Structure 1
Amino acid sequence: MIEVIDEFYSAALAQETIRGMIENARGGYRNGGLPVYGYQNVRSTDGNGNQKTRYEINEAEARIVRLIFELYAKGNGLKNILMHLNDHGHRARSGGLWNKATIASIVRNEAYIGWTIFNKKDTKIYGIQFKPRTEWVIIKNTHPPIVAEQLFNRVQALIEERHPTRTAARTTASTYLLSGLMTCDRCGSSYGVTGYGRGKKYAYYNCLTYSKKGKQVCPGHSIRADELDAMVIAKVRERLFSEFNIRQLLNDLNVATRTVKDGRCEQVKDLKRRLADKEARLLRQYEAIESGKIDLSLIGDRLRALKAEQNALREELANFERETMLAPPVITRAIIERYRQEMEQVFIGENVQEQRAFLKNFIEKVVVGESETRIVYYAGGIRIPSGIFPATSEHPRP
């Protein structure tokens, strides 16, 4: 009952809080918090003499906001916009470079047309998730707009048009073989598919820091995904399935089987020693009972426990002795060859997930530099001259 009352009280309090915030917004006042980029908080007094906060346009930042909306309306993607801003010396409020997440937040924010919205985000879901528009509480004309509503709506239409639920989504990074394995030799960031080139015929890997923040942070290096995938497969296949490695694998497996047999022999010796100890302890107890030194009623439980331990050890020993009597399997070249063929079928097949899982057993990472691409194995590594990969200077739209 107390929990029900608490829940009711919390819900009622939340509703009262929302009502107060709505009334505050209708009066043109803010409800606390830092201003979004393009605005600044200014102090004012309401009709009752209470100190309040209003939004005032920060013209230096507002120019950048208008530029972002205009660039998006002209068909530029987030990456092209951030590169334009960073390359032209425009900086975020923190003084740092722009990134996609900040720009994406700006072009979706109704604050720039003078609206204040409550109940827009679903805080129960991890990440930024929006509730259905019918649940939003929209209050218009709460502060001066920075962009025209017509321009804002045109940008929203473009965002919706590019949304993967409306148009065919580009193939995600997870469908590419080296996703999660590649790093940039210059900045250490991950590599991934960042563009599709002219005509969107081929996917290109590039540094994700370059893609998000531009060449001022990292110059990046664009590599055609299918060609790098094929080259890495060829190099890894050549290394893993070489004649030397096949012979080494054959030897290692046979050494391992002999080691297992030797280990079982040691376990048998240990079990026999422990069993002999239990039998000796039982014998001493029986002799003490027969001589009248110990009353059976006093040690009955202990005798039953020792007997149970003795029987368990006998059963375990019998199992180990049966296994030890069997000759260890001999791994032949024919067995290894069948295994190699099966693994190669997985490796050169069309299931990218299986290929990637196979690679991760042997490869720590693939390091991409301007002059070479290096495959780092869990033991050692090999280098691939990057000249075999066609570089591109174009910046595909995100």
Structure 2
Amino acid sequence: MIRLMFRLLSEGDGTGGPLGVKAATSWLNERGHRTRGGARWGIGQLHKLLTSPTYKGDYRFNRKVWKTKEDKPETEQVMVPVDPIIEPAVFDAVQTRLKARSPKTTPPRVVTGPILLTGIATCASCGGGMTLRTGKSGRYRYYTCATCAQQGKSACKGRSIPMDRLDTLVTERLAETLFTADRVRAILGGLLERQASRSEDHAHRMTALQNKVVDAEGRLSRLYQAIETGVADFADPTLKDRVAALKTERDQAKATLDRAFAELRPETRITEEKIASFASLMRENVKNGPVPFRRAYLRAVIDQVEVDDAEIRIHGRRDVLERLVMGGGAAPAGVPSFVRKWRTRRDSNS
């Protein structure tokens, strides 16, 4: 049931793009899914469940003051690792998407409106948004500078571009130039090199941890043999303390070794297969499907489409691209912040 909920938010139900909390709540209720107490699901209940880090393996102990029920400072909370139900990458992608769709962060019209580049396209002269303008009773549709339209040419000289033309330029340029395995690999080249270097260091660290576990277990075994043969008396308080300390040392080494193994899982690393899968999926999803579905994928990877008189500049972030490749592109991440990193000079639509 938990996995189903996260799948609805990250991938959808197979008939369209990812669902929001309200749509997912309706989907669950319409199909007869109920809470543990047999009640219908509510938006607040579902949102609370979807934002609980316990499902990705991070349980917080000592969170609240028992008298007032107020949250304690994070420094006083204790993080207890538990078996995850949801992969951390999927959980984090859903959190990012929930924050991006919040009305406090993004106006609802940007999330659900019928215009592909709403909230993304901006005027190069003033930085204002490019909004819809129609002509000939709606027969023609344009992106036009909102600053000029609202405040006049004294605020911005303004510019317009046919909506279909800009949509096509952006999606085709992204599909042909950015969403290719070679380009993604080139952008993330430094990261792949650092990842390979870290893997070698990681192997040395894991060997040391494995040796530490073996050493602690060997010392424990020798103590147990001494007790069994009567050489040592288990009633001796000093011996009891020594056994307890060795057990703690062994358990801590095992826990650290388990975490080190987890860091080497395929889902925590960027591979050639993930790069190819991401590029293929994104090429398909930005060009086909309903506008809200396509816009979710566009907003997942680009920050801004800057419209100038002679060129169109597309801006995005390398760290966002990295996170999406890790997830295979299956979960649109919502609205990245406006920091420009992966675009360099004139590699977009000129």
Shorter-chain-normalised TM-score: which range? 0.3 to 0.5
Greater Rg, structure 1 or structure 2? 1
The TM-score with structure 1 as length reference comes to 0.41
Higher relative contact order (CA 8 A, sep 6+): 2
The TM-score with structure 2 as length reference comes to 0.45
